[in-house]
Structure formats: structure tokens, C-alpha cells
């Protein structure tokens, strides 16, 4: 499953896993949102509705480029630095490239949509 992050200057694609949480996320697309920088490690944005945790592990660790869902807060996460194990963190997939687009300080306006 492929999605695209569409910025004003370029697009970045990602490949998602086929899980109940990911399918819930795809039902909310397309989404236009602000990705805010959090802890100089990740970009986050709150989703319109929470995703299911059905079949998801209790938590996971993350690597740069991982796209995850943090269930306790209900937010989408794109990691640009490694992150230790966190309870409630569900990996949805990974960027296909373009990580540098997410590493700038501050927030980013983006539309997330299904890719063809």
C-alpha cells in the first residue's frame, strides 16, 4: 500500500504495512494537516479519529523514516531520528525516500493521499 506526502515543493512516497491500524488510517485519507516538530526527533499531527489497535503489538522502537501511530495521543508520527521502545507506538510503514524533507525545524503543511 502506497501513500504520498504532498508538500508545496515536492512529494514523498511511503509504503505501508497491511494491518488493521493502517487500513483505519487509509480510510481517513486524503488529509491536509500541519506536521509539528516534536522533541527534535519526529514530526507529529493529530488524526481526525483514533485508529484501531487490533492485532498491534504493545509497542515498538522506531528508526528514521518510520511512519507510526502513537495510540495514547491519537497522533501520526514520522520519525527522522531513532527512537527507543515506546508503549502504544504502532508502526504503519516507512518512507520510500525523501527523509530530508521532514528534518527541518518547525511545522510543515502537507496533504497525505493514496498514491496510484
- Whether 36 shows a pLDDT value over 80: the answer reads yes
Query: Chain-wide mean pLDDT for the chain?
Result: 96
Higher pLDDT pick, 9 / 41: 41
- Whether 103 shows a pLDDT value over 80: the answer reads yes
Each residue of 49-70: b (16+ CB within 10 Å) or e?
Answer: eebbeeebeeebebebbbbbbb
Predicted confidence at residue 9, as pLDDT, reads 82
High-pLDDT (> 90) share of the chain, %: 95
Q: Are 76 and 67 in contact (CB under 8 A)?
A: yes
Predicted confidence at residue 104, as pLDDT, reads 81
Measure CA of the first residue to CA of the last residue in the chain; give whole Å. 9
Ranking 7-11, 20-24, 98-102 by mean pLDDT, the lowest is: 7-11
| 39: its cell numbers | 522533541
Rounded Cα distance between 31 and 21, Å, is: 16
**pLDDT digits 0-9 by tens, 51-99:** 999 999 999 999 999 999 999 999 999 999 999 999 999 999 999 999 9
Query: Could you give the 3-state DSSP secondary structure of residue 87?
Result: strand
- Whether 12 shows a pLDDT value over 80: the answer reads yes
Rounded Cα distance between 96 and 57, Å, is: 23
Each residue of 15-26: b (16+ CB within 10 Å) or e?
Answer: ebeebebbebbe
* pTM for this predicted structure: 0.95
| Residue labelled with grid coordinates 508503549 | 87
Amino acid at each position: 500500500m502506497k501513500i504520498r506526502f504532498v508538500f508545496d515543493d515536492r512529494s514523498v512516497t511511503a509504503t505501508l504495512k497491511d494491518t488493521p491500524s493502517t487500513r483505519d488510517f487509509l480510510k481517513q485519507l486524503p488529509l491536509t494537516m500541519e506536521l509539528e516538530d516534536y522533541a527534535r526527533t519526529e514530526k507529529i499531527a493529530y488524526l481526525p479519529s483514533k485508529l484501531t489497535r487490533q492485532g498491534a503489538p504493545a509497542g515498538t522502537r522506531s528508526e528514521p523514516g518510520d511512519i507510526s501511530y502513537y495510540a495514547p495521543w491519537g497522533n501520526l508520527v514520522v520519525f527522522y531520528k531513532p527512537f527507543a521502545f515506546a508503549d502504544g507506538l504502532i508502526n504503519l510503514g516507512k518512507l520510500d525516500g525523501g527523509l530530508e524533507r521532514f528534518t527541518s525545524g518547525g511545522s510543515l503543511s502537507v496533504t497525505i493521499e493514496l498514491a496510484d
